[in-house]
């Protein structure tokens, strides 16, 4: 099931084309969260796992699907890390990326 008829060549800035098999899905309030496992780049690498938020159900577990998504993200709470070799202390700010289906 394709969320939009958009092809990968007509993507706008901050959009990505995702293709994969639905591993799991869940609904929280009015939003669907669909976890996809993508094809591995080659036989020696691991497949990537992503989660897409959408207003509509993207499919059922085991089905293959494609989706055009808007890439987003946010910063989490910074924390301090000390380098074991030099003793230098730095602040790390983790960033979580989000994928929202273009519907």
Give the tens place of pLDDT for each residue, 29-86: 999 999 999 999 999 999 999 999 999 999 999 999 999 999 999 999 999 999 999 9
Which domains are seen in the chain, by residue range? 8-101 (2.40.50.140)
Cα dihedral sign for 75, 35, 24, 11? positive
* Beta-strand relationship, 31-37 and 15-28: antiparallel
d(CA 11, CA 24): 26
How high is the pLDDT of residue 61? Answer: 95
pTM metric for this prediction: 0.80
Percentage of the chain lying above the pLDDT 90 cut? 87
């Amino acid at each position: 099931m394709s969320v939009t008829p958009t092809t990968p060549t007509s993507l706008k800035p901050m959009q990505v084309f995702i293709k994969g098999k639905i591993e799991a899905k869940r609904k929280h309030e009015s939003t669907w969260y669909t976890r996809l496992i993508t094809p591995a780049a080659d036989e020696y690498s691991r497949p990537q796992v992503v989660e897409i938020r959408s207003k509509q159900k993207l499919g059922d577990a085991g089905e293959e699907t494609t989706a055009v998504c808007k890439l987003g993200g946010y910063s989490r709470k910074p924390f301090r890390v000390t380098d074991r070799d030099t003793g230098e202390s730095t602040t790390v700010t983790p960033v979580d990326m989000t994928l929202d289906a273009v519907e």
